[in-house]
Amino acid sequence: MNRLLMTIDPRKLRDCLGCFTTGVAIATTIAEDSTLAGLTINSFSSVSLDPPLVLFSIDRNAASFKIFCAAKHFAINVLNQHQLLLSQRFALSNHDKWKDMDYSLGKHSGCPLIGDALASFECIVEHRYEGGDHIILVGKVLEANRLVTDTPPLLYYQGAYRVLK
């Protein structure tokens, strides 16, 4: 049976995808010339426990796209509900994201690890996959750390930030 390819309205698709609540994170990396790069993401997911793999996707139009695609390592920093302004800062591309930032460099990746993040994952890039207008980066987790706190995560739902009550 032949199936016709159907197109879907991008706004309708976006609205439907927005019904899936996600956490908010900042992906970071460091270029060969020591330039720091980071961007807000909600496209983060675990892939496998054995081996330990995670993924995130990056838009081809992102200002830091070339840096992430050339990087050998990346880090994922899961944000807490008090880091909404930080998430907004890293969602923009035309300013110094790192000014007055609380971060350290990961011992395995050299990538920035954001202070007070609920969890951080240092990764080495294992795979890059084409994903339409994005590239999907799969990383093997070299180190994972969790902040022991009762502070809830920062969430994203239906196009807006949300917090647990």
CB distance 73 to 29 below 8 Å: yes
Q: Write down the domain spans for the chain.
A: 22-157
Burial of 65 (0-12, 13-18, 19+ CB in 10 A): middle
pTM equals 0.92
- Specify the 3-state DSSP secondary structure of 90: helix
What CATH number is given for 22-157 in this structure?
A: 2.30.110.10
Cis, bond preceding 51 (omega within 30 deg of 0): yes
d(CA 68, CA 58): 8
Grade residue 94 by pLDDT with cuts at 50, 70 and 90: confident
Q: For 30-67, what is each residue's pLDDT tens digit?
A: 999 999 999 999 999 999 999 999 999 999 999 999 99
